[in-house]
């Protein structure tokens, strides 16, 4: 499997569509070289949990980690890990770890399970025609099957919803591939312009959100001092604006 991760000294752009801004990072190092896999285990849903069904009813999880037939998770699932910064959400880390960034590829078995990310948990992101129609695992759009790629930003919590539209009660399994990047915000305005104009190669990751929750903006400001570089195509205007923003960057 080809992993989507950046390597040392590459640039990573995290583009935030709702505000048309991008965070431009240089990968200073990859902390977990050679060990990019976490065999997590079943999706953390407990026996006895009530889940809604695609038929409009409800069903009960019969055994830990089993996704019942024709059911989906109403609430976003996070992944507990003992000893992690946030033991209820292994991927969340604080804003003052702004030199860290996690790039995660979640692989779920069986692969036909639907996956949707809520950023932060509770915020529905898939939408059609502005906000006219909401998507998600219980709809015909707004989900992937089997895999989900995310860049985990400091202070931001991501929850996942899962759907099983077969008639099979399935045992689930989650494997994470991840890169724990050591990063810095690029502080050369000319370089930022060239990266955003795609004159310099970079990994471009578009954050899967239609709406940027105020909590995310707050976390970005706390972590980096600003919420990203706007996409500007006039060079002089862009470089001037980027120089101003670079002054705000938290060291």
Partner 1 sequence: MGELITFYGKVSGLGDYSLTSPAIRGNVGYIRIPKGVKLKIWAKRIAGPATTVAIMFTRDVTASSVTWETIGTEHLASAGEITLEKRRPIVVVGYTGKEAIKFSRVGPSGATDESYVEFDIEFVWDDE
Chain residues binding partner 1 by CB under 8 A are 62-63, 66, 69, 109-112, 140, 145-147, 165-171
Nearer to partner 1, 63 or 190 (CB): 63
C-beta separation of 21 from 213 below 8 A: no
Chain-centre distance for alpha carbon 185: 19
| Residues 64 and 46: beta-carbon distance below 8 Å | yes
When the beta carbons of 170 and 232 are compared against partner 1, the nearer one is 170
As measured in angstroms, the least distance from the Cβ of 109 to partner 1 is 7
Q: Write down the least CB distance from residue 112 to partner 1, Å.
A: 5
Contact 115, 143 (CB under 8 A): yes
Cβ nearer to partner 1, comparing 69 with 246: 69
Q: Are 86 and 131 in contact (CB under 8 A)?
A: no
Q: Which is nearer to partner 1, 42 or 94 (CB)?
A: 42
> Cβ 56 to partner 1, closest distance in Å?
12
Angle CA 240–246–250, to nearest 5:
165
User: What DSSP state is assigned to residue 17?
Assistant: G
What's the rounded Cα separation, in Å, for the pair 8 and 28? 6
Q: Which is nearer to partner 1, 32 or 53 (CB)?
A: 53
Residue number, 117 or 245, with CB nearest to partner 1: 117
CB of 10 to partner 1, least distance (A): 27
Q: Kindly write down the DSSP assignment for every residue of 219-251, as one continuous string.
A: HHHHHHSSS-EE---SHHHHHHHHHHHHHH---
In the complex, least distance from residue 55 CB atom to partner 1, rounded to whole angstroms: 8
Closest CA relative to residue 210, chosen from 147, 128, 137: 128
Shortest distance, position 243 Cβ to partner 1, whole Å = 43
- Neighbouring residues of 115: CB distance < 8 A, sequence distance ≥ 6: 106, 108, 137, 143, 144, 145, 146, 147, 148, 160, 161, 162, 163
């Amino acid at each position: 499997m080809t992993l989507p991760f950046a390597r040392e000294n590459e640039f990573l752009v995290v583009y935030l569509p709702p505000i048309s801004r991008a965070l431009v990072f240089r990968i200073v190092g990859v902390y977990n070289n050679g060990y990019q896999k976490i065999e997590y285990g079943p999706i953390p849903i407990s026996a006895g949990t009530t889940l809604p069904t695609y038929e409009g009813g409800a069903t009960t999880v019969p055994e830990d980690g089993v996704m019942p037939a024709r059911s989906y998770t109403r609430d976003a699932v996070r992944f507990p890990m003992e000893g992690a910064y946030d033991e209820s959400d292994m991927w969340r880390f604080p804003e003052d770890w702004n030199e860290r960034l996690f790039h995660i590829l979640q692989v779920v078995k069986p692969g036909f399970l639907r996956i949707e990310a809520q950023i932060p948990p509770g915020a529905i992101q898939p939408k059609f025609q502005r906000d006219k129609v909401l998507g998600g695992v219980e709809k015909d759009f707004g989900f992937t099957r089997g895999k989900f790629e995310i860049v985990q930003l400091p202070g931001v919590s991501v929850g996942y919803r899962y759907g099983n539209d077969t008639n099979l009660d399935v045992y689930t399994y989650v494997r994470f591939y991840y890169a724990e990047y050591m990063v810095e915000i690029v502080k050369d305005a000319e370089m930022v312009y060239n990266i955003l104009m795609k004159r310099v190669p970079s990994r471009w990751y578009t954050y899967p959100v239609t709406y940027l929750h105020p909590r995310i903006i707050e976390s970005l400001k706390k972590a980096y001092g600003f919420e990203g570089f706007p996409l500007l195509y006039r060079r002089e205007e862009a470089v001037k604006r980027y120089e101003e923003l670079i002054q705000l960057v938290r060291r």
